[in-house]
Amino acid sequence: MTFRQFWVDPYQSRLTTRIATVAGDRVTLESTIFFALSGGQESDAGTISGAPVLAAAKQGPEIFYTLPEQHGLAPGQEVEVAIDWTRRYRLMRLHFAAEIVLELFLRVLAGVERIGSHIAQDKSRIDFAWPESISPLLAQIAAQANAIVAADFEIRTGFDDEANQRRFWEIDGFSRVSCGGTHVKRTGEIGQIRLKRNNIGKGKERVEIYLDESRSIASGQG
């Protein structure tokens, strides 16, 4: 099993660990800070022992990293893993912005079904099965989300079920949700956000979430 150091410290951008297995161009690590696409959050970008990671894939308890074919790495070898922190921090902020926006929509759209979500470096999005336009709700939801950001609440994370690697996040008095992504520690780190509606077909509504860089608080690597 690949040990998920990105859950222990989601702010860690470099890690010294060992290669666990090698199968052609695919390797696994004993421990990792390099997140692989899961729950809609895109994979990190980065290197293992200086070689660019071409793909990262979660398969059960393991995470497989595809490297250039001539990587020359062997099981047991010590390696340094480095991730693109600028990208990861934007993914973490846009991920948690989506968590807040989803919770707020679930409160006003009784019985709504979430049919998709995606977190990229430039924006995140959530898709709902809903018969009416969500446009009239956007200003109110954005204001509520930005109030939660401004309040700078603590976001606690931990295991719901460690044997099955199930994680949760919780803000006291707001919500507790199962999620295996990487989360910021406080809502203030997200900075102010903007929402946009997109019509993606009959009975389907999409909300897109953007970081409002002009209004965001300055925040660096913790």
Query: Long-range CB contacts (< 8 A, 24+ apart) of 197-203?
Result: 197/133, 197/134, 197/135, 197/138, 198/125, 199/133, 200/127, 203/129, 203/130, 203/131
Q: How many residues bind to Zn ion according to rule CB under 5 A?
A: 2
Round to whole Å and give the CA distance between 154 and 187. Answer: 7
Residue closer to Zn ion, measured from CB, 53 or 184? 184
The interface with Zn ion within residues 67-86 (CB under 5 A) comprises none
Round to whole Å and give the CA distance between 10 and 108. Answer: 31
Helix, strand, coil proportions of the chain in percent (round to 5)? 20, 40, 40
* Cβ at position 101, least distance to Zn ion in Å: 12
Residue 10 engages Zn ion in binding (rule: CB under 5 A): no
* Cβ at position 96, least distance to Zn ion in Å: 7
* Cβ at position 202, least distance to Zn ion in Å: 29
The interface with Zn ion within residues 160-199 (CB under 5 A) comprises 179, 181
Residue appearing with tokens 């047991």: 76
* Cβ at position 183, least distance to Zn ion in Å: 6
- DSSP assignments along 93-150, one per residue: HHHHHHHHHHHHHHHHSTT-EEEEEEE-SS-EEEEEE-SS--HHHHHHHHHHHHHHHH
Residue nearest to Zn ion (CB): 179
Residue closer to Zn ion, measured from CB, 171 or 179? 179
Residue closer to Zn ion, measured from CB, 33 or 179? 179
Residue closer to Zn ion, measured from CB, 67 or 98? 98
The interface with Zn ion within residues 83-102 (CB under 5 A) comprises none
* Cβ at position 80, least distance to Zn ion in Å: 27
Residues of the shown chain interacting with Zn ion in the complex, contacts defined by CB under 5 A: 179, 181
